[in-house]
Structure 1
């Protein structure tokens, strides 16, 4: 069998490359594998040669030591790959197919999967509903920042690209279908973005930029992106977004200036829809920009969003954060101004994006040149051996979406 090198979490601030077992159709014991999943057979799975596996902000939370991830965990939940072997129960997926892998693993037959809630599948994680590759407390499915990876329930999970040559030409765009493009789109759909909407997106990282791209695709009139990072704000401006540097203070006044006479009332810098693409490691505004304040984004979005509006929350929040600013934050308990949201009749949608709800439609938008998501998030392919540098640069705020390219199929 071929060698299989992978990116491994080695402790806070450290990742490395290590050779791991070539995938088999059984979940074996290892770092992070739930004991109830050990020995689980996957004849419904396939083995992929990884074409692309992206570094995600959610991976960074683990690498910073902000979760309970064990050392030795194989990272990577944003996977695009070529099928090199199929299990005996696979009917429709064939060797040679190039496919996108939704980051949330779903079984297909459970109640939630049948209702389209694939982010909270009931069958793949003994600890709680919902699972993902290479992620803490998600059942222990091996991550895809590797040369080869197992994908279970392949006929259900995989999105096959219709033309191999076309897929390889657009591979950096299509690589965003595993997570950030559907996740950003889900945030906007959850917030009710539609034709003529005014939209505020907190966070100009890859998910925030994907959400901004999605807002334009959905017909927004104004898309405003807020962040502390000047380079990332410049990236948002590169495809038509207005920007707010929240290190200058509360974003409300800047939003008011942008909306001008289109604001609903004098003195009310209110948008129709808002998206939290930051999550639990949020920092404050203005003088508090260097201080971690995990509820800041959610509270500011309630302030910025009009009465009757909606807030999408694709940004990650956790139930266990060893590095939390206080005891409450370490348990995922935040000081939210829920009374304000209630008084304004806001609706909130949280949790994993159900990728399969959106990925096929977004694939068609990419294939027919309706959107350039790789350009908008500044997708940058790098070799597997450069993973540690990619994690470091991304952690320092690089305005890039790093795409690991283990087999040189993305132009690394």
Structure 2
């Protein structure tokens, strides 16, 4: 078979659908591919025909030009697909299986993988621990916003759905298992959310909304979501969350109005390094540490903060020289004085994806409705990126091969 189409980063603010090579069982040279990975053989991999692949806020950071991503990089780390070819070393995954792909690539063989730390695998990225499809500084594994994609270590990485027809019926929910649902859930888990918790989530984008659903699954008594975007706050209210507009005053004061106390048991940063200060429009200036500092103030002593929001070590568009290399003015003294705990880094998707799959299949979680999932064609990807960047309260799901029926 020959031919493939994919969404590629073309420079700040520009993505384009391009013609590209059909994948085979080898890593080839290309934009973002680490030289040490060129020529790497993948007999343990499979080739997927993409069923669904989502636009993520992390992709948007690259598209805005806020990372060192090279032009021509094929995007996409949220992948669900049908196996169409299997390498000679694949034993358990079969052609025809419908599978979810964790966004973090892991080998299943290194010390970290064996300890369940699949977000920081030691063997898939020569630059640093941890890897992902179609992402800057992640080893150069080709992204999945495409008609076809290669997935390595298939027996280890892939989550097979038990029933094809059921999977396709619930595909808008199940596609969220590749990243945002486990990532949001991880934020809630690492924040210590449990039965009766009060929870504040900064950011009403898809990951923040997924964290809210996760907090509800974990038994939170009250889930409060904060943002500057009223449409996204309305989306949070649609499934039972309280909301606050962070442009209308300090977070602790607004929490006090809702809860009678100016703090919560647990907090989640679902914003990351492009955070903005309180205020709207031109008044909402970028302040990359503002969310972290507000969460330390708003979290009760002895509490915890989960930080699934992305922070980077290279940001050419940062507000100052320190932030360009990931150094932020964090008020660690407040965190220390209150004995707060922090968890950062990639979510280890495999720790959660099967349990969350079962919650979806048995109608315990309706994540697609919560994040307002909308299927669009591959050719509509540039428009989807533009609308998402403008603040649309929508999770865009690309449907490159027509599996998703309207």
Q: Identify the TM-score tier after normalising by the shorter chain.
A: over 0.9
Distance of 2:246 and 2:284 partners within structure 1: 11
Matching residue of 2:365: 371
Distance of 2:250 and 2:22 partners within structure 1: 50
Q: What are the within-5 Å matches in structure 2 for residues 181-330 of structure 1?
A: 181-260=181-260, 263=261, 269-286=262-279, 289-330=283-324
Distance of 1:168 and 1:212 partners within structure 2: 25
Shift of 1:410: 1.5
CA RMSD, 1 decimal: 0.8
Aligned residues: 405
CA contact (8 A) 2:2 2:21 kept: no
CA contact (8 A) 1:83 1:95 kept: yes
Distance of 1:52 and 1:313 partners within structure 2: 26
Distance of 1:55 and 1:250 partners within structure 2: 31
Q: What do the CA deviations read for 1:260-303 (whole angstroms, capped 9, x no partner)?
A: 2xx3xxxxx11000000000000001378520000000000000
Distance of 2:130 and 2:98 partners within structure 1: 25
CA contact (8 A) 1:228 1:289 kept: no
Distance of 2:356 and 2:28 partners within structure 1: 34
Distance of 1:20 and 1:186 partners within structure 2: 35
Bigger shift: residues 283-292 or 76-85: 283-292
Secondary structure at 1:286 match in 2? coil
CA contact (8 A) 1:283 1:289 kept: no
Secondary structure at 2:106 match in 1? coil
Q: Does 1:73 align with 2:48?
A: no
Secondary structure at 1:391 match in 2? helix
Secondary structure at 2:48 match in 1? strand
Matching residue of 1:16: 16
Secondary structure at 2:69 match in 1? coil
Distance of 2:375 and 2:255 partners within structure 1: 34
Matching residue of 1:380: 374
Distance of 1:309 and 1:247 partners within structure 2: 25
5+ residue gaps in structure 1? 264-268
With normalisation by structure 1, the TM-score equals 0.97
Secondary structure at 2:167 match in 1? helix
Distance of 2:284 and 2:187 partners within structure 1: 26
Q: What do the CA deviations read for 1:99-127 (whole angstroms, capped 9, x no partner)?
A: 00000000001000000000000000000
CA contact (8 A) 2:27 2:40 kept: yes
Q: What are the within-5 Å matches in structure 2 for residues 20-169 of structure 1?
A: 20-169=20-169
CA contact (8 A) 1:250 1:286 kept: no
Match of 1:353 among 347, 353, 374: 347
5+ residue gaps in structure 2? none
Match of 2:327 among 299, 320, 333: 333
Shift of 1:331: 0.7
Q: What do the CA deviations read for 1:193-247 (whole angstroms, capped 9, x no partner)?
A: 0000000000000000000000000000000000000000000000000000011
CA contact (8 A) 1:4 1:148 kept: yes
Distance of 1:394 and 1:226 partners within structure 2: 18
Distance of 1:345 and 1:382 partners within structure 2: 46
